[in-house]
């Protein structure tokens, strides 16, 4: 699934550069979104498949680290390529997806498919499905609320800073970059520290959500020094992200059974929308 989705997404992005018809563009956007998002459940399942026993939370944090680094590099390169030629932007985006597909083939060993034992029955599998797991469904609803609030940091907060706090674009860019720098520098070590302390997953998730709430509350307080207040807001929300996100992911993987981990991962993927692809974001901003 990871190989197919990355390859298909890459080919569709290459096609963007040659499209001038609005309806064809809509079809390409739909297809690219479908395949790009279909990668995520398979990627979550791969974490559980390849991670050593007892390291799922750290493996999830490491995967997030790779995602943040890639997102930061992709955003920067996307802007540079767009400044020269938009054709290069979509060719670069498509090539990166195709390279990712090739690297999965070359570097990841093939995982053995799950085989039902002789004791497995249709009733047993049905009882372990996502929709009959009421605890997971409740958890998924809470996770959806949290991720919706969290991603406002990247979508609405910069607009608020510009229109209400009169920040310029360069300052906003620095504050947004602070999130990625802190996550890349500290999340893996932080998760490893808490994981060694026999973690109470619910407690860490709750602490992360609380820090995120405090960070947003700073936005409604009287502001004398916008840069300091904005930096404190980003740091608190980022600290909340580093506590909540890895343990939310590990809860999902630990809740699933071997034969339905893809379904659990797919349900979790629905709870949060990943940031827009660098190519689409650069195109939209123009």
Per residue in 93-151, pLDDT (tens digit) is 899 999 999 999 999 887 665 554 444 444 444 555 687 888 889 999 999 999 999 98
Are 161 and 175 a contacting pair, CB within 8 Å?
yes
The reported pTM is 0.71
Residues 226-265 as b/e (b if ≥16 CB within 10 A, e otherwise) read eeebbbebbbbbbbbbbbbbbbbbbbbbebbeebbbbbbb
At CA 111, angle to CA 39 and CA 132, rounded to 5?
Answer: 65
Residues ≥6 apart with Cβ < 8 Å to 120 = 259
SS (H, E, C) 174-204: HHHHHHHHHHHHHHHHHHHHHHCCCCCHHHH
Q: Could you state, in order of their start, the residue ranges of all structural domains in the chain?
A: 2-111+126-280
Distance CA 233, CA 217 (A): 8
Per-residue pLDDT reduced to its tens digit, 141-193: 999 999 999 989 888 999 999 899 988 887 888 888 888 888 888 888 888 88
Averaged pLDDT of the chain: 82
């Amino acid at each position: 699934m990871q190989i197919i989705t990355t390859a298909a997404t890459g080919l569709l992005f290459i096609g963007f550069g040659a499209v001038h018809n609005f309806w064809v563009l809509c079809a390409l956007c739909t297809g690219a979104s479908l395949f790009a998002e279909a990668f995520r459940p398979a990627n979550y399942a791969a974490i559980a498949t390849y991670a050593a026993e007892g390291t799922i939370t750290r493996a999830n944090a490491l995967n997030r680290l790779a995602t943040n680094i890639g997102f930061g590099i992709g955003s920067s390169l996307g802007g540079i390529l767009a400044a020269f030629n938009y054709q290069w932007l979509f060719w670069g985006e498509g090539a990166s997806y195709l390279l990712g597909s090739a690297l999965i083939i070359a570097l990841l060993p093939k995982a053995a498919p799950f085989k039902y034992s002789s004791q497995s029955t249709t009733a047993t599998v049905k009882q372990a499905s996502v929709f009959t797991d009421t605890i997971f469904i409740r958890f998924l609803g809470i996770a959806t609320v949290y991720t919706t609030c969290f991603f406002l940091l990247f979508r609405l907060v910069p607009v608020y800073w510009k229109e209400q706090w009169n920040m310029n674009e360069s300052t906003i860019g620095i504050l947004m970059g602070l999130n990625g720098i802190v996550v890349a520098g500290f999340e893996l070590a932080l998760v490893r520290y808490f994981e060694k302390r026999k973690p109470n997953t619910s407690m860490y998730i709750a602490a992360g959500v609380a820090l995120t709430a405090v960070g947003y509350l700073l936005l409604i307080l009287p502001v004398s020094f916008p840069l300091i207040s904005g930096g404190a807001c980003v740091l608190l929300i980022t600290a909340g992200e580093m506590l909540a996100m890895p343990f939310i992911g590990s809860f999902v993987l630990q809740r699933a059974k071997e034969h339905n981990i893809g379904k659990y991962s797919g349900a979790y993927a629905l709870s949060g929308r990943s940031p827009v692809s660098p190519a689409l974001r650069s195109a939209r901003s123009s």
